[in-house]
Amino acid sequence: MAQERSRAQQLVGDIAPKLAELTDDVLFGDVWARPGLSPRDRSLITVAALTALGRTDQLRSHLGLALDNGVTTDELAETATHLAFYAGWPAGMTAATTLKQVVDAR
């Protein structure tokens, strides 16, 4: 039976296998597994950083992960609203509309 490919493997495994490997092994296998922060807290921090940086493609998947890690839709909406004042109105609006798309798709 074939092993299911990770999201990184699906996205870039064919073109950048080392990047996919590092994503799986270092980023999610080590950094995300460290005990200093809970997965929920890491998700909230990551969503904030991706929002501020305008990384919409990555934000979409991390919003889903945040929901899986226990961050509520209301908390994510409040995060988008709060960040509009610090990262800029377009960043907050983009985060909110992306959140709506993620929630609607679930």
| Residue 63, CA atoms < 13 Å, CB-side half-sphere | 28
pLDDT reported for residue 86: 97
**25-32 long-range Cβ contacts below 8 angstroms, 24+ apart:** none
* In the chain, domain spans: 1-34, 38-105
SS3 content of the chain, % helix, strand, coil (to 5): 75, 0, 25
Q: pLDDT of 55-64, one tens digit each? A: 999 999 999 9
Q: pLDDT of 1-45, one tens digit each? A: 667 899 899 999 999 999 999 999 999 999 999 999 999 999 999
User: What's 43's DSSP letter?
Assistant: H
pLDDT reported for residue 85: 98
- What predicted TM-score, i.e. pTM, was given to this entire model? 0.89
pLDDT reported for residue 34: 95
Topology (CATH) of 38-105: AhpD-like (1.20.1290)
| Number of CB atoms found within 10 A of residue 12's CB | 14
- The residue-averaged pLDDT of 72-89 equals 98
